[in-house]
Amino acid sequence: MPLLDEILNYNESFVEEKAYEPYQTSKLPDKRMVVVSCMDTRLVELLPRSMNLRNGDFKLIKNAGAIISHPFGSVMRSILVAVYELNADEVFVIGHHQCGMSSIEPQKMIGHFKERGVSNDTINTLKHSGVDLEKWLSGFKSVEESVRNSVDMVRNHPLLPDDIPVHGLVIAPDTGKLDLVVDGYDR
Ligand SMILES: [Zn+2]
């Protein structure tokens, strides 16, 4: 059965059997916090479990690498929405060890684009219109440094209120152990 059908089939009984009931909550985070983390599969359940966070406790923003790369990109906008409109009072940036973004090779990925049918013309057109693909696709060497950079970006954002602590942590994707990189209360 195709995945979509499998999901829709399952969903029908999920709703019918009211399996959603344990998850019902409001859109405001009970623990008044917002987390930025990586899309890594190992963290899907492990991250909240290891922090004692449940449905309704926190706002969760995810991308590849837990990287906040632009002060006016969608991640930063989401943080501001969480803070100003949804009662989040603390920000947690949580990278992880063995992150795919620490070993990503932009040149190789551009090669993969081409293997999957993206033409050289398209790559060149993007380059000529000012898209630095290599920079855009590059990750980080040190996850701690990346977390620190993202924390700085949030903390120094002109639109973030001064009294919002911004913490930086790194999680182990096998054990869930958290290492503190930036204590946002230290400011
Ligand atoms: Zn990752």
Mean pLDDT score, 71-92: 98
What local confidence, expressed as pLDDT, does residue 187 receive? 74
| Residues contacting residue 94 through CB under 8 Å, at least 6 positions apart | 35, 36, 37, 38, 47, 66, 147, 168, 169, 170, 171, 178
Which domains occur in the chain, in start order?
20-100+141-186 (3.40.1050.10), 105-138 (no CATH)
E strands, 18-108, where? 33-38, 58-63, 90-96
Q: What is the 3-state secondary structure (H, E, C) of 164-185?
A: CCEEEEEECCCCCCEEEEECHH
User: For the residues 17-42, what does the mean pLDDT come to?
Assistant: 97
- Distance, CA 11 to ligand 1 centroid (Å)? 28
By three-state DSSP, how is residue 70 classified?
Answer: coil
d(CA 86, CA 18): 27
pTM assigned to the model: 0.95
pLDDT of residue 96: 98
4 pLDDT higher than 90: yes
Q: Ligand 1 centroid to 63 CA: how many Å?
A: 8
Distance 41 CA to ligand 1 centre (A): 8
SS3 17: coil
Determine the average pLDDT of the residues in 14-27. Answer: 97
- What are the residues whose beta carbon lies below 5 Å from ligand 1 (ion)? 38, 40, 99
Residue 149: left if φ>0, alpha if ψ -120 to 50, beta else—which one? alpha
Express each pLDDT in 85-140 by its tens digit: 999 999 999 999 999 999 999 999 999 999 999 999 999 999 999 999 999 999 99
Quick one: average pLDDT of 14-37? 97
- Per-residue pLDDT band at 56 (split at 50, 70, 90): very high
In the reported structure, the alpha carbon of residue 143 is separated from the centroid of ligand 1 by a whole-number distance in angstroms of 9
Kindly state the average pLDDT of the residues 137-157.
Answer: 97
C-alpha 57 to ligand 1 mean position (Å): 22
Percent of the chain with pLDDT over 90: 99
Q: Which amino acid is at 65?
A: G
- How far does the centroid of ligand 1 lie from the alpha carbon of residue 77, in Å? 21
CA–centroid distance, residue 128 to ligand 1 (Å)? 30
Give Cα 96 to chain centroid, integer Å: 11
Output the pLDDT for position 72: 97
Ligand 1 geometric centre to CA of 27 (Å): 26
